[in-house]
Amino acid sequence: MKSRPSIVSMLFVACFAAGCGTSPTPLHEAREVPPARVFERPVVKSTNPAKVTIVRDQGLHGAEHVFTILVNGRQVAELRQGEKVIVSADPGTVFIEARMFNITGRVPPVQVETNVQEGKTYTYRVGLDELTLRLLRDLSASN
């Protein structure tokens, strides 16, 4: 006789799977990262720089971890869930990186390269899916 999974076990798996991903934090609800976790903002020479916002999304998996955000190789801030940091950037190539300290060393950092234009805004979302950091541009919140 073939056994089928119980409804309880299927609900448990569904809840567990939902908790492993992150869900977007609405930009208007994201809190500015506290000044104590802002380290170095990029030096900007442009009179009309681009604005880059990095938002930490929410989810159960990785909630206890702080994500370190780097811009052009410099540590800018440490984000907790639901927080954001906004930095100015000169037009040109910008590298944004997210790292997460973890004892196992199984979560590698992620980096994106983007070309920013004068006066434009760029929004990126950082989150954790399973054991993979993701850093993606949110086109709906960029112009």
Question: Would you state the pLDDT for residue 61?
Answer: 54
Residue 103: the pLDDT is: 64
Q: What is the pLDDT of residue 7?
A: 46
Helix (H, G, I), strand (E, B) or coil at 40: coil
Six-digit token string for 98? 């997210």
Mean pLDDT of the chain: 82
Q: What is the pLDDT of residue 11?
A: 36
What is residue 140's three-state secondary structure? helix
Q: Are 19 and 59 in contact (CB under 8 A)?
A: yes
For residue 104, the model assigns a pLDDT of 66
- Bigger pLDDT: 143 vs 38: 38
- Report how far apart, in Å, the C-alpha atoms of 31 and of each of 28, 119, 124, 142 are: 8, 23, 15, 18
Q: Which CATH number is associated with domain 7-141?
A: 2.60.40.1120
At 11-68, the pLDDT tens digits run 333 444 444 456 777 778 889 999 999 999 888 999 999 999 999 987 655 556 789 9
**Domain coordinates in residue numbering, the chain:** 7-141
Alpha-carbon gap, residue 31 to 62, rounded angstroms? 18
- The predicted pLDDT at position 19 comes to 44
What is the reported pLDDT for 63? Answer: 57
**Extended beta strands in the chain, E state:** 31-32, 50-56, 67-71, 74-79, 83-89, 92-100, 110-116, 121-129, 132-137
Give tens-digit pLDDT for 91-128: 999 999 999 876 666 788 999 999 999 999 999 999 88
Phi, psi of 31 (to 5 degrees): -90, 145
The C-alpha atoms of residue 25 and residue 27 are separated, in whole angstroms, by 6
